[in-house]
Every structure is written in C-alpha cells, then in structure tokens.
Amino acid sequence: MGERSSKEALFAEFAAVGKVLGNPKRLELLDLLSQGPRSVENLAAAASVGMSTCSAHLQTLREAGLVEPRREGKRIYYSLTGDDVAGLWEHLRRVARAHRPHTEFARRAYLGPDDTDAVDTEELLRRLDNGDAVVLDVRPEPEYAGGHLPGAIHIPLGELADRLAELPRDGEIVAYCRGQYCVLAHDAVRLLNAHGLHARRATDGVLEWRLAGLLVGPGAA
C-alpha cells in the first residue's frame, strides 16, 4: 500500500468517528450516556425518539467505537466506551461555543434568562468539605445511580415541588444536573427561590466532574 493510500485509510478511520457526530440526536444520546449507563428504553424516552430509531443511532455509535452494550436479562444497557468519549463530547461543545457565535444564542434560548446565581466547582467542593451547604442532584434516577457527587441529596426535578419539606429553609441549597448545558438545575433554583428557599446552581455538572474524577457511584469509575 502506497504512502498516499495508507494516509487516506488512516484519515478515513478518523472520519468514521467524525461522521457519526454529525447528527444532533446521536450527540444527545452521548450526552445522556456521559451521565452513566442507560437502557435502550430509558434512552429512547429521555431523547424523545422511538425505540427503533434509538436502537439505530446506538448501533451507529457502536460501529464507530463510541458506545458498547451489555445485556441484563431482557434489557440491553449502553455505556460510553471510555471517559475519552465523554471528553470528546465536552471538547466539541467548547469548540462550538468558542468559534460558532450562534451557539451562545442557542444556549441562552434553551437555558432561559440569566436569573440564577451560580457556584463554581472550587467553592462547591470547599462547601461540601465544610458541610455548610446542601447539595441537590435534580437529575432522573438512572443518572443519579450512574454517578453523583459524594453526599448529594437526590430529588428529581419533577418531584421537587412536592418534596420541598425535605430541604432546609435556613441554609443554602446548591443544585446541579448534567453539565453546563443542562436546564434542570436552572429550573430547580428558580422553583426553590420562588418558594422562599435560598438556592444557587453549580456552574458545572456531572459531565465535567466525571472527567475530573469527582463522582461516586457504580458508573462513576
């Protein structure tokens, strides 16, 4: 094989990964799987796609080497093939935000008005060590099970309004969710503040903390 054909074959391997990333729904599936392993049924529901469509996207991601399945009884669960895949997704987002101006407009349209106070990771970890803040994970149950911050209380956003009595009224609550492009923590803080609780949101989330090795749980390693 000549030098040119060898080089083209090599770049074709790189292109195979890039090609599967060119679909918004497959990126959403990668985002969900960055939280931890999920069943096909759960992924389909979370991504608002049919089972057959979800399975087809997962098969494409699998062929590119980005996800892998495992069977438990009658269910098939998928996970990322490594934290480097989560890192690829995180880096893609940073590049898009840095070099595609419309990305920031789309982010603002999705997350809503900038009306919630934030806590950066350094401060959050310090407050966790000191025990002077309640840290609240507002993601769905499968995501919390896949990995979460040590000591975090788990109340899914959909249940939060009915479970406010479980949270302190005389201290600060820091809510977190999937990552910097997740709306759940924003909505949680808005709800908590509207009910008279003192709440802020974490600037980062599980994707960033997974890459930093800060999570605990069966899917966090």
**Per-residue pLDDT tens digits of the chain, which is 221 residues long:** 568 899 999 999 999 999 999 999 999 999 999 999 999 999 999 999 999 999 999 999 999 999 999 999 999 999 999 999 999 999 999 999 999 999 999 999 999 998 999 999 999 999 888 888 899 999 999 999 999 999 899 999 999 999 999 999 988 999 999 999 999 999 999 999 999 999 999 999 999 999 999 988 765 64
Distance CA 97, CA 100 (A): 6
The confidence score (pLDDT) of residue 28 equals 98
| pTM: predicted TM-score of the whole model, two decimal places | 0.91
List residues bridging with 78 in a β-sheet. Answer: 38, 69
| Gyration radius from the chain CA atoms | 19
Q: How far is C-alpha 79 from the geometric centre of its chain's CA atoms?
A: 13
CATH entry 1.10.10.10 includes domain 3-86:
yes
Domain 110-211: CATH superfamily, name plus number: Rhodanese-like domain (3.40.250.10)
The confidence score (pLDDT) of residue 64 equals 97
> Residues 6, 12: contact at Cβ < 8 Å?
no
Q: Which residues contact 138 (CB under 8 A, 6 or more apart)?
A: 155, 156, 157, 160, 175, 176, 177, 184, 185, 188
The structure tokens listed for 118 are 């934030």
The catalytic residues are 177
Q: Which residues contact 214 (CB under 8 A, 6 or more apart)?
A: 121, 125, 149
Q: How many CA atoms lie within 13 A of 184 on its CB side?
A: 22
Residue 126 carries which side chain, given as an amino acid letter?
R
Domain boundaries, the chain: 3-86, 110-211
